[in-house]
Amino acid sequence: MTLVMSGAGAAILAAEEGEQLSRFVAQESAVVFLLAIAALVTVIASRLRFPFTVALVVVGLFASVLGELVAVDISAEVILFLLVPPLLFEATLNLPWPKLRADLFPILMFALIGTAVGTLAIGALVHWTVAVPWTAAFAFGALISATDPVAVIALFKTLGAPKRLAILVEGESLFNDAVAVVAFGLAVTAAAGSEPFTLGNAINDFLVVSAGGLGIGLILGYLVSSVFLARVDDPLVETSITLALAYGSFLLAEEFGIVVGRELHFSGILAVVASGLMVGNVGMHNTSPSTRLTLDNFWELLTFLVNSMVFLVIGLAISLEDLADHFVPVVVAIIGVLVLRILLIHALAAIASWAQPSRRVPGPYRNVMIWAGLRGAISLALVLTVDNTIFDDETVTTLQIMTYGVVLFTLLIQGTTISVFMERLGLTSKIDTELTQQRHQARIYMSRAGQSEMARLGADGVLFNDMATSLGRTYQRAINDESARLRSHFSGHPELEVSMLLQARRDALVVERSALNEILFSGLIDSQVAHDLTIELDNRMAALDLLEERWESDPLPTFSGTDDGESDNHGR
């Protein structure tokens, strides 16, 4: 068929295309501008030792005055389909399954029961106090139950927090995102009135959606790990495949209905989590050293870019004026979320500790988990999907502003105070003693350099010999004094000896890996041999991490079978 287009039609089409192009250019300009802001903010935040994600939110709050320059499309689809998958994938890529499995029971308790109870309790509170319909209230309860600890996890690393604590916080977040999305979907479906809501249907839907998501993620993750990562030796191709996997598993799960030709969708979040775990724990062991390096660098960069956009977008989406106008609902939501988290974490941790005494969650961990329950991208994305086709305008506005309020409070208040909180709980004391030790060692090292230079200048005749000798002796006195201080510090903290040994062993393993790469690239050994030895080194590194957590950690306190685990010790 030949299509003949009139002159007017062509002009309209050309005008539309022109408009689309200018919209695209405007969006691209805004993204570029925001990335430049993010880079600048990150540099400043790093110098001020301030969480960069929180700094980005603050900048985003005030950047909206720049108007068109920063007017990016912040639809729910952009956040959920474009920004969330790589964040989840990267988080799971670095999550060792043995450690996750060891704490899977408490993590699933927090993620499943915590989110379900949280949805109902916050829903009831919001319904009774803010007077929004039941379904809208439950939708809010669900979306606000999704925790997003990105800012906190980065801080954990800086502060040297116990790894088990990071696994608990990150594991809870990964799985409760999925539960929150499913619960939110159920509430919205009930509100739309398309299906009658029953508890049986809800549980059935949850199981189908979760199992489907996990299944798709595991299958795709296994295929990529055992076929592409094991048999292809090209860092660029393998890295591209992992990117396709992150987005592909999410899309396939969410849009599974299109594949099978009927209304059916699974949890995209769980699909990404499962595929990331598979690649991180199976696929990464199948790759060559150069691919691992490329993968690590690529995902680190992508996560930085996406996180920058997410947190700037959160800041841009929030209007301080709107928050002030809805002061009461916002305060109710913040207090409700906080109080409920305190109750839930303590209650569920006590149950988990009772059921699994060897993996009890110590008291200080519970307190940090409460304060580390930040809200972020998932809550924001879900609330942006709510529109006036489901609830009335006032309800939509109230839900959105309450969400913004909780997200902002958790990021600005909890995110900036958690390091102080952890210091008070003694969970960062190890870092302080290590820093003191390093300070003494650095002073000795500096003085030795100065002493050597004096000797060289004296030998070269630049300094009079007696002057060089005197300065050298002065340096020696300083070195002796500093060595005495270092010895005294060691006496008070014998655990430093172990930590130095562990660090030395880690450094040695890193050097062993470099040496292995060198002989591989120089062609002295076969790639299969290098591959096998890389796996061996990876296992040694993992074993060292495990020993640090379980062997070198502080002892568990004496406890009886009825103890709920309230203790100041953070044990294995």
Partner 1 sequence: MADELVYVSWGGTGRVATLRSAMERAKTEERGLVYLAVLDDAGFADLDEGFLAVVKDELQWLLDAQLELTKTQLNAEELPVRVIIRGGDVAEQVSDVVTALGDTEVIIGAPVPLARHQSIEALLAEIQGQVDVPVSLVTADDAEPRRAP
* Segment near partner 1 (CB under 8 A); pick from 23-31, 286-294, 461-469, 542-550: 542-550
CB 400 → partner 1: shortest distance, Å? 44
Q: Per rule CB under 8 A, is residue 542 in the interface with partner 1?
A: yes
Pairwise CA distance, residues 95 & 377, whole Å: 20
* Residue 393 C-beta: closest distance to partner 1, Å: 53
DSSP for 171-192 reads HHHHHHHHHHHHHHHHHHHHHH
Residue that the structure tokens 């990117």 belong to: 243
Of 161, 150, 168, the closest CA to residue 423 belongs to: 161
Output the smallest distance, CB 572 to partner 1, in A. Answer: 5
Among 24, 327, 521, 551, binds partner 1 (CB under 8 A): 551
CB nearer to partner 1: give 7 or 555. 555
By beta-carbon proximity to partner 1, the closer residue of 233 and 554 is 554
The correct pick among 2, 6, 194, 491 for binding partner 1 (CB under 8 A) is: 491
Smallest gap from residue 480 Cβ to partner 1 (A):
11
**Do the beta carbons of residue 150 and residue 307 sit within 8 Å?**
yes
566 near partner 1 (CB under 8 A):
no
- With residues binned 3-state (H G I as helix, E B as strand, rest as coil), the percentages for the chain, rounded to 5, are 80, 0, 20
Examine residue 497 and tell whether it contacts partner 1 (CB under 8 A): yes
Q: Does 205 bind partner 1 (CB under 8 A)?
A: no
Please choose, from the candidates 471, 464, 470, the residue with its C-alpha nearest in 3D space to the C-alpha of residue 447: 471
Could you say whether residue 490 binds partner 1 (CB under 8 A)? yes
- Cβ(249)–Cβ(217) below 8 Å: yes
Half-sphere exposure of 272 (CA within 13 A, CB side): 28
Residue 26 DSSP SS3: helix
Q: Find the binder of partner 1 among 13, 14, 44, 98 (CB under 8 A).
A: 98
Q: What is the largest CA-CA distance in the chain?
A: 101
539 near partner 1 (CB under 8 A): yes
Rule CB under 8 A: say whether 528 interacts with partner 1.
no
Compute the least distance from the CB of residue 208 to partner 1, in Å: 30
Residue 525's SS3 state is coil
Q: C-beta of 89: minimal distance to partner 1 in Å?
A: 24
Distance (Å, whole) CA 397 – CA 323: 11
Binding mask 451-480 for partner 1 (x = CB under 8 A): ------------------------------
Regarding 101 and contact with partner 1 (CB under 8 A), the answer is yes
**Alpha-carbon gap, residue 62 to 525, rounded angstroms:** 57
Q: Which residue, 424 or 550, has its beta carbon nearer to partner 1? A: 550
Q: What is the C-alpha separation between 75 and 293, in angstroms, rounded?
A: 34
Binding residues for partner 1 restricted to 43-72, rule: CB under 8 A:
none
What is the distance of C-alpha 178 from the center of its chain?
15
Q: What is the dihedral of CA 322, 130, 314, 406, to 10 degrees?
A: 120
Structure tokens at 98: 């043995």
Which one, 195 or 536, has the nearer CB to partner 1?
A: 536
498 binds partner 1 (CB under 8 A): yes
Q: Contact between 510 and partner 1 (CB under 8 A)? A: no
CB atoms < 10 A from the CB of 208, how many?
Answer: 15
Q: Minimum CB separation from partner 1 for residue 422, in Å? A: 18
Q: Pick from 31, 505, 564, 567: which binds partner 1 (CB under 8 A)?
A: 505
Question: Long-range CB contacts (< 8 A, 24+ apart) of 316-319?
Answer: 316/60, 316/61, 316/63, 316/64, 316/70, 316/72, 316/74, 317/60, 317/74, 317/380, 317/384, 317/404, 318/57, 318/60, 318/61, 318/404, 318/407, 318/408, 319/64, 319/404
Considering only residues 250 to 309 of the shown chain, the ones binding partner 1 according to CB under 8 A are none
Examine residue 22 and tell whether it contacts partner 1 (CB under 8 A). Answer: no
Binding-site ranges for partner 1 (CB under 8 A): 98, 101-102, 357-358, 483, 486-487, 490-491, 494-495, 497-498, 501-502, 504-505, 536, 539-540, 542-544, 546-547, 550-560, 571-572
